[in-house]
Structure 1
Amino acid sequence: MPLLVVEDDDIVRMLIVDVLGELGYAVVEAADAAAALNVLEDAGQSLALMMTDVGLPDMDGRSLALRAREARPLLPILFASGYADALELPDGMHSIGKPFSIDQLRDKVNGILAG
């Protein structure tokens, strides 16, 4: 099942998608919250996890996560932020601090998906 990566910085998004692909994950990309919501509201698109930046141009990541949970109540959500330690997260949501290593991303995603 694919992972949804929501990141407005094209280079950062490309790097995350490449790393996740090398780790064996299928990835669906979104450059902003509007594109992510289109994916989330597509009942034909299965998703295992959504990874989102906290700062997006059209909606903050927390608001996007709450909207994602309306469409997919059980979807695990991973926030990527330079301020991950300061985030207050609702149940079932996780964070990883930017910058992160390939190993940190792998371990975090694997841990979330293992449940």
Structure 2
Amino acid sequence: MARILVAEDDPSVRAFVVSALTMKGHEVVAEEDGGLAAETMEAEGGRFDLLLSDIKMPVMDGIALALQVGSAFPDVTIVLMTGFADQRERAHGLEALVYDVIVKPFTLAELLAKVEDALEGRPVEVLSLARQAREE
């Protein structure tokens, strides 16, 4: 299964997402803001398959986090979450960097489907090469 970094400032949403992804067998690391998520990504050398981040957060928002992670670790797939239409608009123009934006509130099925789509959205060869490079 995948290794996923979750950045979400709302404790109840974070717990729901972590529980759902863990239930599906993914290894999940969760942080409460973008700044901590950026530090974790850096400390782990980008060894994540997916970054699932809220857009609107304190310290560092999801757009800034996506830009930083996408620049430093282009092999990491990025999915953003938001409950605000204006925040979703901010993600436009990042199509080359962000796989998709999932709109809150979302159901368990919607979340799992989006994560599965994102993880399968890249060719298997690219995933394998990215994992090999990170392990070296």
* Same fold by TM-score greater than 0.5: yes
- Write the deviation string for residues 46-102 of structure 1: whole angstroms up to 9, x where unpaired: 201000000011122111100111220121111111137534151141110100011
SS, match of residue 41 in structure 1: helix
Within the candidate set 102, 108, 115, 1:102 is matched to: 108
Higher helix share: 2
Q: What stretches of structure 1 of length at least 5 have no aligned partner? A: none
Equivalent position of 1:47 in the other structure: 48
In the alignment, the residues of structure 1 paired with residue 110 and residue 55 of structure 2 have an alpha-carbon distance, to the nearest angstrom, of 18
Point out the structure with max Rg over C-alpha: 2
Sequence identity of aligned pairs in percent? 33
Q: What stretches of structure 2 of length at least 5 have no aligned partner? A: 122-136
TM-score by length of 1: 0.90
User: For the aligned residues, what is the CA RMSD?
Assistant: 1.7
Paired positions, count: 115
User: Is 1:70 matched up with 2:81?
Assistant: no
User: Given that residues 40 and 71 in structure 1 are in contact (C-alpha distance below 8 angstroms), is that contact kept between their aligned partners in structure 2?
Assistant: no
User: Given that residues 34 and 65 in structure 2 are in contact (C-alpha distance below 8 angstroms), is that contact kept between their aligned partners in structure 1?
Assistant: yes
User: Given that residues 49 and 75 in structure 2 are in contact (C-alpha distance below 8 angstroms), is that contact kept between their aligned partners in structure 1?
Assistant: no
TM-score by length of 2: 0.77
* Distance 1:89-1:80 versus aligned 2 partners, 3 A rule: farther
In the alignment, the residues of structure 2 paired with residue 103 and residue 34 of structure 1 have an alpha-carbon distance, to the nearest angstrom, of 29
* Distance 1:53-1:2 versus aligned 2 partners, 3 A rule: same
